[in-house]
Structure 1
Amino acid sequence: MSPGDGNDDDLYGGTGQTRTRLPDGGQGDVYGGAARRPARSSSRSLITVVGVVVLLIAAIAFANRGGDESSSGGSDSKKPGASATAPTGTKPVASGFAHDKQGAQSAAANYAVALVSADILKPDRRTEIVRQLFVSEKVSGLEAKFDKAYSTDFLSRLGLDTNGNAPAGQTYVSRTVPVGTRTTAYSDGAATAEVWCTGAFGTAGESTKNPVTNDWFTMTLKLRWTDGDWKVESFSQKDGPSPVNGDNKISSADEIAKAVEQYGGFTYAR
């Protein structure tokens, strides 16, 4: 359910199209050891596609349901860190979004990247992200729900420790890239924006059971204009649209890990 929102049709648990599966005991076997994803038509491909992102988004869905608790805090004016995004060292624009449709789309794209990032798995960064992105009355409840969703057991299924870090010699990857945005509803004080995304998710390293793969999904964010910026009230996610897989040469785990280190992830789009 949407936190504090009466219209739940397009949110988690509403249409049946969003991912609401929580991780189960058999999830660890789906990653296999294949270095190359076959065409989407095979059952193995379908399992691979829903691998890491299902776990990650399922936890987000769990945290996002029923978050109607209130909090007097959460008005931190800081935005998600962007220290690795610009080779020049200049931080990209990540606050002060325009009070119009394009500003709402910009905020939604920025927030989608943060909500499906490796940082969301790290307790300290997760707290910061939640307080920065969400309207203040949702913060307290969502912090608790995110913490419960990203439990020690959940992190261990991704091969991560309690701080969300990969083992020595491995690199956990969760990079989301907005492909396009649109607003489906807009008023002076509220907006609903959809962000079509792709991304790379998994663990790069030798003997990993969770190889880096890619996925396509659309995130819907309900935003409110408050304190001079757009903030998130609720969000949901569904599969696709997904293009046909290209016959791309698969890079080694070492190449993927080096790419993550060498290319900073974006925290802002549009």
Structure 2
Amino acid sequence: MSTGDERGYGGPGRTADPYSTIGGTRQTRTRLPDGEGDDYGAARRPARSSRSLVVLVGVVVLLIAAIAFANLGGGGKDGKDGGPASAGGRPDSSSTAATGTRPVTGKNGSIPTGFAHDEQGAQSAASNFAVALGSAGMFSADTRRSIVEATHDPAVVEGLLTDLTKAYSPGLLENLGLHAEGTTPSGLTFVSRTMPVGTKVVEHGGDTATVEVWCTGLVGMAGQDSTKPVTSRWFTLTQKLKWVGGDWRIESSSQTEGPTPVNGDNRASTSDEIASAVQGYGGFTYAR
């Protein structure tokens, strides 16, 4: 099964790529109020006159006002809130602002559950499902079943697991540096993480929703003797969700490549540094 098809989502696809479904400070000097000089005999500076203080405050206020006005983008019809960024306006603030709605009410193992029965809940569910389905647990048959059962409509679980067993073949696992049964060689750390960057509701109709999740991901083997270095991927998952048994579940999903930003000039970390980071930094529960 290819992860680029109707059910693909963070697992391996037609190729070995398992993602075909990451100034200075100012120093402050404090002047003590007592005495005519400091401990080194230097005379204190005369107090600033009230007139100078008023002028200084006025300049600061004008500077802040100028910066605020520049950030408004001129206030033309294309510069109002919600105007298209490509037309010179600012992005709609709702595209990135937190809603404040409690994202979940519980967990099924390590996977959040109990999402709200609305658009916000659907976006939170899709984000957390993307994380679970892009995790290292998908490469082991036992944990794969628990992840799929916690994220999918029960009506599609068994058929999907059959397809995934074929997709996560011993050959694919060995190509990633894993043992044929999905375990990691001694002394190495297998890395597979998905991090949602943003979500978008394509369709919402009460008990159904289609949500796109823009993601970046890491996959590879970290450790001193690794020959499969950890690399990053950018992709967008489209999940068709259904309200089943009092929660959102995936009916089907697909993936497209990107949008992919230009790589920065950061120094690539060593394999041991990546392994240490993966072991030391935990993940999040994502909320919209």
Is this a same-fold pair by TM over 0.5? yes
Question: Deviation string for 1:114-144 (max 9, x for gaps)?
Answer: 1111111111110101111111110111111
Amino acid at match of 1:137: A
* Aligned mates of 1:162, 1:20 — CA distance in 2: 15
What is the identity percentage for the equivalent residue pairs of Structure 1 and Structure 2?
A: 50
The question of whether the paired residues in 2 share the 8 Å contact of 1:182 and 1:195 is answered with yes
The alignment covers a number of residue pairs equal to 201
Instruction: Give the secondary structure class of the aligned counterpart of 2:256.
Output: strand
**Which residue identity is paired with 2:14?**
L
Instruction: Please name the residue that 1:74 is paired with.
Output: none
1:237 aligned counterpart, secondary structure = strand
Equivalent in the alignment of 1:129: 147
Inter-partner Cα distance in structure 2 for 1:168 and 1:120: 19
Corresponding residue of 1:145: 163
Whether the 8 Å CA contact 2:148–2:161 is kept in 1: the answer is: yes
Structure 1 letter corresponding to 2:5: Y
- Of residues 53, 57, 60 in structure 1, which corresponds to 2:19? 53
Indicate conservation of the 8 Å contact 1:80/1:114, yes or no.
no
Structure 1: where are the runs of 5+ without partners? 3-10, 14-18, 28-50, 58-76, 83-93
- One-letter code aligned to 2:136: A
Q: Is there any run of 5+ residues in structure 2 with no aligned partner, and where?
A: 22-105
| One of 163, 176, 185 as aligned partner of 2:203 | 185
Query: Which residue of structure 2 aligns with residue 204 of structure 1?
Result: 222
Q: Which residue of 1 aligns with 2:130?
A: 112
Structure having the higher Rg? 2
Pick from 209, 218, 239: which aligns with 2:257? 239
Distance verdict in 2 for CA 1:80–1:180, change over 3 Å:
farther
Higher RCO (CA-CA < 8 Å; seq separation 6+)? 1
The aligned counterpart of 1:12 is: 5
Q: Among residues 221, 234, 238, which one is paired with 2:239 in the alignment?
A: 221
TM-score, structure 2 as length reference: 0.64
Q: 1:206 to 1:169 in 2, by over 3 A?
A: same
Partner of 2:179: 161
Give TM-score, length-normalised by structure 1: 0.68
- Measure how far apart 1:267 and its partner are: 4.9
| Distance apart, 1:153 and its partner CA | 1.6
- Structure 1 runs (4+) greater than 6 angstroms displaced: none
Aligned alpha-carbon RMSD (Å): 2.6
Post-superposition CA distance 1:121-178 (Å, at most 9, x none): 1111101011111111101111111112112122111111134222111111011100
